[in-house]
Amino acid sequence: MQEKIGTTAGSIYNYLSAKGENTTTALRKDLELDDPGLVSLGLGWLAREGKVQIRTKGKTVYVSLIPGA
């Protein structure tokens, strides 16, 4: 399972690097990730490493890379 989470984290990182800040909904759709739990685990991995910033506006969750991380 850790390998799957790590692979998902890598996909999310590459996506955000190419596209910039985006919503978790867009991440799931564009990366074709059907399991929202796996997306959360991948984001948690990146957050723990200090690579992403997560903010909310209403019910929408936005994610972006931390510059220089």
Domain assignments of the chain as residue spans, ordered by start: 2-65
Q: How far apart are CA 36 and CA 14, in angstroms?
A: 18
Task: Average the pLDDT over each of 29-38, 43-52, 54-63 and give the range with the smallest value.
Answer: 29-38
Q: Per residue in 8-21, pLDDT tens? A: 999 999 999 999 99
3-state secondary structure of 32: coil
pLDDT at 69 over 80: no
Could you tell me which CATH number the domain at 2-65 has? Answer: 1.10.10.10
User: Which pLDDT belongs to residue 46?
Assistant: 97
Q: 63 forms bridges with which residues in the sheet?
A: 22, 54
* Rounded Cα gap, residues 16 and 64, in angstroms: 6
pTM score, whole prediction: 0.92
Query: Please, what is the average pLDDT of the chain?
Result: 95
Provide the residue count of the chain. Answer: 69
Rounded CA separation 66/1 (Å) = 26
63 compared with 69, residue with greater pLDDT:
63
